[in-house]
Amino acid sequence: MAGAKAHHLTVQRHRHGKYLGVIRAALGHWLIVQHLIGLALHPPPYTGKAVADNDPTGEPMLTYHKTTEEEKYRITAWQYDGAYAIYNSDAYEAQKARGVGFANPKNNFYSFYDGAALVGFINLYEEETEVFFGIGADPACCGRGYGQQMTRMAWDIAQSLFPGKPLYLEVRTWNTRAVRCYEKAGFRIVGEPIRQTTPAGDGVFYHMIREK
């Protein structure tokens, strides 16, 4: 009897262990399904990565997202020195009062990060046949390659938002650092320099475009 009883207990343990294994597996699959359903119903905020994994420069990958209200205050507080001070902008509150710049709903601003550091932003403004491109970098981050990365990425973002439309920008002719940056990112100068008046004052500009 003792042997039969021991055998019976062994069989019972085996069955319980088998059933527990099945239950654990089923529970694991259920949790995975619930997680996927949760992502579908409540997806995380979209974050893009600068240039694909085949980035030929070997530079750090940047992440980006739509510019937040808090970031607009931070960006408009940036102050440039010397000749570049012409790029200092009005405070965000002043822009909101006039509905311009960061407060213009027709602009599409994206903020770029290197890790936890906000290094710059871009703006894309759709026109009838093309898209205007604007860019700015944290003064402390200028000259470190971020501008070229953001400019290359602006093309990809623009094509996802406005397929088939070329990008164009206007840059002051004396800003050779910016001109080289744009050329390396696929832009080219079109036509002769043009003189025009902007909110930042008069100047002579190159018209640059990227079509592919």
Residue 60: its pLDDT value, please?
61
Question: Nearest-CA neighbor of 156 among 110, 105, 120?
Answer: 110
Q: Tokens standing for 205?
A: 């500009």
Residues 91, 72 contacting (CB under 8 angstroms)? no
Edge to edge, what strands does the sheet with 167-172 contain? 48-49, 63-66, 108-114, 117-126, 131-137, 167-172, 201-210, 188-198
> Which DSSP symbol is given to 23?
H
Could you tell me if 80 and 87 are in contact, meaning their C-beta atoms sit under 8 angstroms apart?
A: yes
What would the mean pLDDT of 45-66 be, rounded to a whole number?
A: 60
Q: Which pLDDT score, from 0 to 100, does residue 59 have?
A: 59
Q: Residue 75 carries which DSSP code?
A: H
In 3-state terms the chain splits into helix, strand, coil percentages (rounded to 5) of: 45, 25, 30
Calculate the average pLDDT of the chain: 80
When pLDDT is cut at 50, 70 and 90, the band that residue 61 belongs to is confident
Q: Burial letters for 60-76: b for 16+ Cβ neighbours within 10 Å, e otherwise?
A: eebebeebeeebbeebb
Cβ atoms < 10 Å from Cβ of 162? 17
Q: b/e for 13-31, b at 16 or more Cβ within 10 A?
A: eeeeeeeeeeeeeeeeeee
Look up tokens 């920008």; give the residue. 169
Over residues 20-34, the mean pLDDT reads 40
Q: Exposed/middle/buried for 105, CB within 10 Å: 0-12, 13-18, 19+?
A: exposed
- For the segment 7-35, the average pLDDT, to the nearest whole number, is 42
Of residues 42 and 149, more confidence is placed in: 149
Measure Cα distances from 148 to 5, 145, 158, 210, 211 in Å: 78, 6, 15, 14, 17
115-154 per-position pLDDT tens digit: 999 999 999 999 999 999 999 999 999 989 999 999 999 9
Q: How confident is the model at residue 201 (pLDDT cuts 50, 70, 90)?
A: confident
